[in-house]
């Protein structure tokens, strides 16, 4: 999911709470249509929650898009499944889902907002790679994320850098969070039971991650010269 860099300052400032009365006894819907999303993907867009700047509201890009709604449902179900199976450590790098709410743009999934230490909304990893903003500390954080995925045996749906945000915790200190596609439900049970298959599939996914990261930059000017020949970002 791509960050909306041109309106980042406006998006970071929490707007006043707005709600529409429904007249049906149900909780009022959140009004999002007049707000600027801070990130827009192929199927969904993200807003700062009007009543809580520490929360994100994710809604389908098109209210009638069945795929967007399916991805919303899959996020909620996958998160609930990971909680049910006691995968607490695996949830350390996934923003906590707080629930589902009615909005004037359709059902929205509410999750914890990823923010830097200074309160700014954390930037998308693809954006940082594309602008050659990968510092040694961020490269280390990428390596830590890879090691974490192997340790947790977590097979994710989409390894694209656009599905990862980089939380800046301090001077060149980062923590990467997976904000979309965090569970490949078709093969999840298999990799949990078979470490050999888990290593094989996860290594293949991480190679794909490196390939996609490389395509975001000019091939003639490698933004990761310290990684060494034949190695991916962060190892």
Rounded Cα distance, 53 and 115, in Å: 10
Half-sphere exposure (Cβ direction) of 89: Cα atoms closer than 13 Å:
8
Task: Answer for the pair 3, 124: CB distance below 8 angstroms, yes or no.
Answer: yes
Tell if the pTM clears 0.85, that is, is over it: no
Instruction: Give long-range contacts, CB 8 A cutoff, 24+ apart: 27-33.
Output: 27/101, 27/102, 28/102, 29/101, 29/102, 29/103, 29/104, 30/57, 30/101, 30/102, 30/103, 30/104, 30/108, 31/103, 31/104, 32/57, 32/59, 32/103, 32/104, 32/105, 32/108, 33/104, 33/105
CA atoms of 97 and 113, how far apart (whole Å): 10
pLDDT tens digits for the chain (235 residues)?
A: 666 554 444 444 433 344 444 444 566 689 999 999 999 988 889 999 999 999 999 999 876 777 778 888 888 888 887 777 766 666 789 999 999 999 999 889 999 999 999 999 999 999 999 888 889 999 999 999 999 888 887 777 777 898 899 999 999 999 999 988 776 656 566 666 677 777 888 888 899 899 888 888 754 444 444 454 445 666 6
Residues 2-112, CATH architecture: 2-Layer Sandwich (3.30)
């Amino acid at each position: 999911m791509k960050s909306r860099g041109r309106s980042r300052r406006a998006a970071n400032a929490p707007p006043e709470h707005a709600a529409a009365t429904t007249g049906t006894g149900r909780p009022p819907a959140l009004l999002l249509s007049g707000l600027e999303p801070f990130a827009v993907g192929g199927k969904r867009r993200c807003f700062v929650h009007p009543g809580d700047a520490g929360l994100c509201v994710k809604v389908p890009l098109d209210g009638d898009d069945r795929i967007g709604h399916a991805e919303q449902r899959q996020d909620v179900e996958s998160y609930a499944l990971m909680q049910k199976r006691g995968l607490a450590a695996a949830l350390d790098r996934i923003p906590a889902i707080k629930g589902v709410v009615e909005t004037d743009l359709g059902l929205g999934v509410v999750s914890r907002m990823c923010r830097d230490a200074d309160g700014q909304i954390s930037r998308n990893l693809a954006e940082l790679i594309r602008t050659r903003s990968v510092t040694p500390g961020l490269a280390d954080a990428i390596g830590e994320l890879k090691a974490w995925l192997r340790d947790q045996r977590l097979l994710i749906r989409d390894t694209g850098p656009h599905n990862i945000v980089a939380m800046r915790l301090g001077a060149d200190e980062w923590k990467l969070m997976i904000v979309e596609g965090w569970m490949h439900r078709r093969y999840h049970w298999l990799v949990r039971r078979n470490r050999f298959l888990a290593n094989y599939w996860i290594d293949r996914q991480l190679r794909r991650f490196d390939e996609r990261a490389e395509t975001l930059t000019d091939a003639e000017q490698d933004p990761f010269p310290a990684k060494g020949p034949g190695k991916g970002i962060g190892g």
